[in-house]
Amino acid sequence: MPYQHISKSVVKRLPVYLRILDQLIQRKIEMVSSKDLSNESGFTAEQIRKDFAYFGAFGTRGAGYNTVYLREKIIKIIGLDQVIDTIVVGAGNLGTALTRYNSAKNFYVNVVGVFDHDPRLIGKKIDSIDIFSVDDIPAFIAENKIKVAIIAVPAAAAQDIADLLTVNGVKAILNFAPVKLKVAGEVHVHNADLTIELQSLIYYSSAEEDRLKRLKQEVKGSKSLKSLPLD
Ligand code: NAI
């Protein structure tokens, strides 16, 4: 079964293709070439052709790929052919924003419940979605067959929440807390970290050259650091 062997890197690229295809279909574009997809995604045209051939989607020479067909194939592979019910743990600033965004803008995912331990929040709503106590998580997961959850609690609480989620059957976690979660082998965790993204992006900001020059000067001035490969 070829679908069972799709590599992690391909799986990470599929949602990128899906987003582009959604936009093309909205613009009523029926065919797309791997070159156009490359321009939109940043992946090479060769990589794209390889990815698609991997799951049996082949373009027509000169015409490219049918956008609707390709989108259908990708949503089936990802498992988005039915809307996925998910829960958010942590009803603070980030949890609230994620709940609002995913309810309003992400039509592949449905946030069906938010959980917190703060009694001031329990019983309230984020838009139309109820905030429940974390104590209700096991029953809620069982009743609603939840397999995907989002963690938006402080780092110190995240591992306990991950344990609670996974012991009750959650198989995939999107973790926003700045901590590496330990989970059983069959559970998948994706970490989202805007701070790290931003900090590594700052490296490429305009001051890069000056900073490296300054660093070189400092290294030259310090005998103990002379072996650093900055030249
Ligand atoms: P916040 O303080 O506004 O919200 C945290 C919520 O978690 C609160 O409502 C609190 O009552 C709840 N909480 C704490 N311990 C809990 C527990 N044991 N069980 C259930 N609920 C619990 O914090 P904010 O700004 O929403 O950040 C949440 C997390 O997301 C933090 O870990 C923060 O570092 C992280 N974060 C990550 C970002 C990223 O890009 N990955 C961006 C912003 C925040």
How far is residue 181's CA from residue 169's CA, in Å, rounded to a whole number?
16
Q: What is the pLDDT of residues 2-29, one digit of tens each?
A: 445 778 888 889 999 999 999 999 999 9
Is residue 213, in this structure, part of any structural domain at all?
A: no
Whether the per-residue pLDDT at 181 is higher than 50: the answer is: yes
Q: From atom 1 of ligand 1, which residue's Cα is the shortest distance away?
A: 92
Percent of the chain at pLDDT > 90 equals: 65
DSSP label of 153: S
Residues 73 and 89 in one domain: no
Cα of 160 vs centre of ligand 1, distance in Å, is 13
Cβ-based burial of 156 (10 A; exposed 0-12, middle 13-18, buried ≥19): exposed
57-69, pLDDT tens digit by residue? 777 877 899 999 9
16 and 66 inside one domain: yes
**pLDDT level of residue 224 (50, 70, 90 thresholds):** low
Ligand 1 atom 3, closest CA: 92
Integer Cα distance of 57 and 197 in angstroms: 33
Task: Judge contact between 55 and 14, C-beta under 8 A.
Answer: no
User: Which pLDDT score, from 0 to 100, does residue 231 have?
Assistant: 44
Bridge partners for 95 per DSSP: none
The answer to whether 52 and 70 are in contact (CB under 8 A) is yes
- Tell whether ligand 1 has an atom less than 6 A from the beta carbon of residue 90: yes
Backbone angles phi, psi at 62, to 5 degrees: 90, -30
Ligand 1 centroid, distance to 153 Cα (angstroms): 3
| Binding site membership of 153 for ligand 1 (Cβ less than 6 Å) | yes
Atom 19 in ligand 1: residue holding the nearest Cα: 117
Q: Indicate the residue among 78, 112, 141 that finishes a domain.
A: 78
Supply the pLDDT for residue 1: 42
Judge if the beta carbon of residue 109 lies within 6 A of ligand 1.
no
Range of the domain at 68: 3-78
pLDDT of residue 200: 80
- The confidence band for 184, taking pLDDT boundaries of 50, 70 and 90, is very high
Q: What is the mean pLDDT of the chain?
A: 89
3-state secondary structure of 149: strand
pTM for the model: 0.82
